[in-house]
Structure 1
Amino acid sequence: MLQKDKRVLTGNEGIARGFYEAGGLIAASYPGSPTVEVIEKLKEYHEVYSEFSTNEKVALEVAIGGSFYGARSMAVMKHVGVNIASDPLMTFTQTPTNGGFLLVSGDDPGLASSQNEQDNRFFGKFANMGIFDPSNSQEAKDYTKLALEISEEFQAPMMLRITSRVCHSRSVVSIDERTELEPKGINRDKEKFCMVPPGSRKAQLFMKDRIEKLEDYGYEFHINELEEREGSDTLIITSGMVYQNLKEINPNASIWKLGLIYPISKKRAKEITSKYNRVIVIEEMMPFIENELKLMGIKCEGKEYFSYTGELDIKAIEAGLHKAGVLKQIKKYREELVETVPRAPLFCTGCPHRPVFDILKKSKAKTIVGDIGCYSMAFLFPFQQSNIIISMGASIGITKGIKKAMTKKGDKEPLVAVIGDGTFFHSGLPAIINLLHKKNEGENMTFIVLDNRTTAMTGGQPNASSGLYNEVDDMKVNIKELLEAMGFDRVKEINQYDYKATAKLFKEEIAYDGLSIIVANGPCALKYNMEEPYYYVDPSICINCRACIKTNCPPLRMKKYEGIEKLKSSIDKDMCVGCSVCAQVCPVNAIKSSKETDREDDKIDN
């Protein structure tokens, strides 16, 4: 018997592999941590069509289209992305699936990379979907395949809810061959797929019957595993990564590990829990499983011992079980702390956003409405130039709402909003168009579109303007031309790296008594591998003013030069990408390009 190929994969890679092995054909996503790696990995499987779509709603619709044709299809997004996709989702789940359909939701306990801690298990139930919750990479792969099979068997869309820790952690995965499946073609039963009354009224009952059948199926579902501990009167019910942490503790209790967390078989749950005096549910974030059991009339405990927020690591689970009286004592861990230099999040070397926020900090704008992207970091020290950040694309509508309220009060303070190019295309366009509605003269609003032509914060995925910078990407939307075509009459474009010209334009537009839009261009230095001749400091000219240091570029620091008493600025030439912003802000021209200077001169800084 041949030994199976085994590989060490992340949970995201496990999902991609599972979709490939299951004969998946159509996959779409909008990049967002923690699930961005799924589509990146799927690019390696040429049998699968995969794309990063404009936003999550579009990604879901692409996957829905694949499913309607009878192809196994998948939409992938982070938890808040499901909010964007919810309009088609809540209606699509009324229809019978033709090809297996899977929605992957990357939840983020502890907010490692998110603006909230939304628990999408509740969204899955709300949408009448079956929900799978893997605890490692092998299960991520297996549950992906299983969910697609069950989706077709029950004609029901499925959700794979995975958390950040499982997405990024690695474990051994058994590799299987791909199963090729021929798409069945479109089912033209209009009443089942045209979701307007009276068809959608019948669909409500169809959804109810479908979930009940799936619950019956769950009675003997093998991924809901019971691990009985002889002599124990306590049952712990859990799922996902919490199960792996719980196994490390090895409490004196039986464990019922759920792989399918919705719907839970009421019959099976009552049979199992009736054997125990105590039932304790351990789950991250909201009490989803606990609430489901209580709705069945099963007495259980849970959130009185475990936090509603954050990840439940081994220490947190031990503390909760000790509080519940399951553990007599808590283990003492030996902690060896290594002193490290604290490092706050900051813009990359040569980032085009840095001069923008340095200029805004020096401007007369008191209120700056931010958005979601790399530039969100502008609210942190030292820039501190975002007063409000809510969600993708929200900066535009929020700014209009603030300004309309200010107008009612007679407040003429200028407002500035920033939005990235990826976010502009994702969800900014409808709000931008809405600025034309009831547009009044004298309402001072300046909107800055930061166009670095990539979705930078999630790893440099393409967006609709990326093709203007390279030949690989196929969309070449010019934002300025698009805005002018919409009907905006004051749209200016500037190179973000041209500091003085950008500062002059910002000053003019912020002072302008009306609505203006600035498209600030500059390639993402990391994505496009910016590497111009490096800059260096001549300490004999430097006056120690720290103007360059205040731009907060990583290669810049103050240092002691031999024979010079005061600290002077310096540039790490190995980090410098040659963006030139530091040289432009230097008032005495102490910063020079290595391209324009003899090699002897740059030895001064070595």
Structure 2
Amino acid sequence: MMDENKVLMTGNQAIARGFYEAGGQVASSYPGSPTVDILQSVKDNYKAEIYSEFSVNEKVALEVAIGASFSGARAMVSMKHVGVNIAADPMMTFTQSGTNGGFLLVTGDDPGMASSQNEQDNRIMGKFANMAILDPSDSQEAKEFTKLALKVSEENSTPVMLRITSRLCHSRSAVELCERFEPEPDGFEKDKSNFNMIPPNTFEKQHSMKSRIEKLQQKAVNMDINIFEESKNKDFLIITSGIVYNNIKELGLDIPIYKLGMIYPLPIDKIRELSSEYKNIIVIEEMTPFIENELKINGISCEGKKYFSFTGELGIEEIEMGLKEAGVVKEVKYALKKNDHAVPRLPMFCAGCPHRPVFDILKKSGKTVVGDIGCYSLAAIFPLEVLDVEISMGSSLGIMKGIAKANALRGKAEPIVAVIGDGTFFHSGMTGMVNMLHQIDPKDNMTIIILNNGTTAMTGGQHTASSGSYSKEDDMNVDMRKLLEGMGFDRVKIVDQFKYKSAKETIEAEMKHNGLSVIITTRPCALKFKVKEPQFYVDPQVCIGCRKCVKTNCPPIQMKKYEGIEKLKSSINPDMCVGCSVCAQVCPVNAIKRSK
């Protein structure tokens, strides 16, 4: 039976709890998997003690936390791994200045790219920024390391990174609950030499950063979060960190392990001492050979990526296979069989998703379409396969312009479309939008479609700057049309994409227009705002089986065999249908009708 002071928590929830127990006062974030639930847990459970906000992007979120730290408050900012790229500009300078209140940056790395466009290893970013990096292995450590990170930050006047991975973010384990510590922030004390990061102040700060890391490296030797597990086996020593440690332990091997809690700076003196006792050192870590390279830089012989993949997660099967290749184990007991993989499930837009009619129209147009990051990224894959380019948040606008200008130089000006969601537009699209006005040629045929569904849907329905137009509960209601007209755009169209025929006419007309035009769609996210109208049904006697409704990629629609009818006809699952009406509008014979 579990202790009454312990509860099951995900890693995300445990970090939120740790921030609460540590006396955290200001938390900020931009929603992104796998870390989105950290701030959501703060909002849901600790709003009386902690000010929290989903900022418009990671850069702003980091800056909010920086300001709180400067004022003596314990602050935390959380984001997915690629979010750190957005925040890198202030981060790389902030790490020069001394913190006041404890400052924690939580980054969620995504080995295997379960919900990301790349697999960057932010341990490298932490070192690049001269930050200490902690790497917890379970939910209990996630909570305790959060508290420790804030303490380390204050004692050493340095920002600290807590690096977690998708598996730890979402997996659950027991967490012991403790009381909250109540700090007393001393407020903002003016110190121009510390907070004004301009020459000549920055010259001295470079030396301060170097000295700070060297002192932390000495302290790391005695940190109890770096744990050495002894064994009689002197042939091999495994060095590891994070959730990989638990996977190694699942193998039940009689082998010494040095489990690192702080992965930068490393306790080099301790590892050097251990290296003299063991014939071989094997480093097991996901993604890049970060720890392995740090050891080799310091002249410590080891191997790692020689036996273990540089990409994806390292489960017990992959670890055991690597250890066999390294000669640590003789037999493999957990080899992954070819048929053990789960049957893949096709990602689809939700029933009633307002993006679907837009992409149905674009697919039929055959035009080049540049996509962006959000739910609408699904339009890049089967069965829609509309998006021709998909790179990063807010990139669609600049990329579209670059393609258009390059085509014009070749004498092949042709229509090109960019799609971007409202959350992404406010996150990092506005700068690209303003840049569209620079050196515009009347012959440039560029159409921008802003999919304004009022939420950051892909990460769970967090607000955007225009959510207030759909919900009174949201305190931000930016009028996107007025914003664009204020920027200087004189051709802005508003469409209701559930009025399929008129939306199609508008989109097609703008794609034919020589020049720059913007279209804003107006339907909200069906899932977030719980859109539900009387459902539709198919009259099989009228249906001709043309599958035009099926091609809209709506989950409730499928072909089926009706009794007494030889040909397959379409059908609509009434439990899934939310009554958006798009299928009825594309049906050429009016076989799809709304129920009473």
- Could you tell me which residue of structure 2 aligns to residue 163 of structure 1? 165
Question: Which string of whole-angstrom CA distances, capped at 9 and with x for unpartnered residues, describes residues 444-489 of structure 1?
Answer: 0011101101000000000100011011110001211111111101
C-alpha separation in 2, matches of 1:47 and 1:425: 29
Matched letter for residue 247 of structure 1: K
Pairs within 5 Å for 1:470-509:
470-509=471-510
Deviation at 1:333, TM superposition (A): 5.7
| Corresponding residue to 2:360 among 348, 358, 361 | 358
Question: Which string of whole-angstrom CA distances, capped at 9 and with x for unpartnered residues, describes residues 349-400 of structure 1?
Answer: 00001000100111141x1101110000101111110111000000000111
The runs of 5 or more residues in structure 1 that have no matched partner are 596-606
Q: Is the 8 A contact 1:252 1:326 kept in 2?
A: no
Q: Alignment partner of 2:186: what SS? A: coil
Q: Is the 8 A contact 2:15 2:142 kept in 1?
A: yes
Which contiguous aligned blocks of 4+ residues in structure 1 show a shift greater than 3 angstroms? Answer: 332-342
Matched letter for residue 480 of structure 2: I
Q: Alignment partner of 1:506: what SS? A: helix
Q: Alignment partner of 1:279: what SS? A: strand
C-alpha separation in 2, matches of 1:31 and 1:356: 25
Q: Alignment partner of 2:352: what SS? A: coil
Q: Is the 8 A contact 2:538 2:571 kept in 1?
A: yes
- Could you tell me which residue of structure 2 aligns to residue 18 of structure 1? 18
- Could you tell me which residue of structure 1 aligns to residue 535 of structure 2? 534
Residues matched between the structures, number: 593
Asked if residue 319 in structure 1 is aligned to residue 326 in structure 2, the reply is no
Q: Is the 8 A contact 1:251 1:326 kept in 2?
A: no
Asked if residue 400 in structure 1 is aligned to residue 415 in structure 2, the reply is no
C-alpha separation in 2, matches of 1:547 and 1:302: 53
Asked if residue 148 in structure 1 is aligned to residue 163 in structure 2, the reply is no
Matched letter for residue 358 of structure 2: V
Relative to structure 2, which stretch is displaced further, 66-75 or 379-388?
379-388
Asked if residue 564 in structure 1 is aligned to residue 565 in structure 2, the reply is yes
C-alpha separation in 1, matches of 2:276 and 2:341: 51
Pairs within 5 Å for 1:360-509:
360-365=362-367, 367-509=368-510
Pairs within 5 Å for 1:4-403:
5-43=5-43, 44-45=45-46, 46-332=48-334, 342-365=344-367, 367-403=368-404
C-alpha separation in 2, matches of 1:60 and 1:334: 41
Q: Alignment partner of 1:271: what SS? A: helix
C-alpha separation in 2, matches of 1:178 and 1:340: 42
C-alpha separation in 1, matches of 2:328 and 2:253: 7
What TM-score do the two structures reach when normalised by structure 1? 0.96
Question: Which string of whole-angstrom CA distances, capped at 9 and with x for unpartnered residues, describes residues 281-320 of structure 1?
Answer: 0000001001111111111111100010000000100010
Q: Alignment partner of 1:584: what SS? A: helix
Q: Is the 8 A contact 1:535 1:592 kept in 2?
A: yes
Q: Is the 8 A contact 1:4 1:175 kept in 2?
A: no
C-alpha separation in 1, matches of 2:285 and 2:291: 8
Q: Is the 8 A contact 2:584 2:591 kept in 1?
A: yes
Q: Is the 8 A contact 2:234 2:277 kept in 1?
A: no
C-alpha separation in 1, matches of 2:583 and 2:32: 32
C-alpha separation in 2, matches of 1:513 and 1:335: 56
C-alpha separation in 2, matches of 1:353 and 1:115: 20
C-alpha separation in 1, matches of 2:466 and 2:225: 44
Question: Which string of whole-angstrom CA distances, capped at 9 and with x for unpartnered residues, describes residues 325-346 of structure 1?
Answer: 0001111569696897642111
Question: Which string of whole-angstrom CA distances, capped at 9 and with x for unpartnered residues, describes residues 404-432 of structure 1?
Answer: 11111111111011001100000000000
Question: Which string of whole-angstrom CA distances, capped at 9 and with x for unpartnered residues, describes residues 178-207 of structure 1?
Answer: 111111111211111100001111110111
Deviation at 1:251, TM superposition (A): 2.6
Matched letter for residue 30 of structure 1: Y
Q: Is the 8 A contact 2:317 2:336 kept in 1?
A: no
Q: Is the 8 A contact 1:98 1:187 kept in 2?
A: no
**% identity of equivalent residues:** 62
C-alpha separation in 2, matches of 1:106 and 1:484: 37
C-alpha separation in 1, matches of 2:490 and 2:380: 30
Q: Alignment partner of 1:220: what SS? A: coil
Q: Summarize the Cα distance change of 1:358–1:334 in structure 2 as closer, same or farther, 3 Å threshold.
A: closer
Matched letter for residue 14 of structure 2: G
Q: Summarize the Cα distance change of 1:68–1:350 in structure 2 as closer, same or farther, 3 Å threshold.
A: same
Q: Is the 8 A contact 1:30 1:77 kept in 2?
A: yes
- Could you tell me which residue of structure 2 aligns to residue 573 of structure 1? 574
C-alpha separation in 1, matches of 2:384 and 2:545: 20
Deviation at 1:61, TM superposition (A): 0.3
Alpha-carbon RMSD across the aligned residues, in angstroms, is: 1.4
Deviation at 1:270, TM superposition (A): 1.1
Q: Summarize the Cα distance change of 1:340–1:542 in structure 2 as closer, same or farther, 3 Å threshold.
A: farther
- Could you tell me which residue of structure 1 aligns to residue 594 of structure 2? 593
C-alpha separation in 2, matches of 1:341 and 1:288: 33
Q: Is the 8 A contact 1:232 1:252 kept in 2?
A: no
Matched letter for residue 13 of structure 1: Q
Q: Alignment partner of 2:373: what SS? A: coil
Q: Summarize the Cα distance change of 1:341–1:164 in structure 2 as closer, same or farther, 3 Å threshold.
A: closer
Q: Summarize the Cα distance change of 1:74–1:218 in structure 2 as closer, same or farther, 3 Å threshold.
A: same
Deviation at 1:232, TM superposition (A): 2.8
Deviation at 1:266, TM superposition (A): 2.0
Q: Summarize the Cα distance change of 1:340–1:576 in structure 2 as closer, same or farther, 3 Å threshold.
A: farther
Matched letter for residue 407 of structure 1: A
C-alpha separation in 2, matches of 1:203 and 1:341: 54
Question: Which string of whole-angstrom CA distances, capped at 9 and with x for unpartnered residues, describes residues 470-509 of structure 1?
Answer: 1111000121111111110111010111110111011100
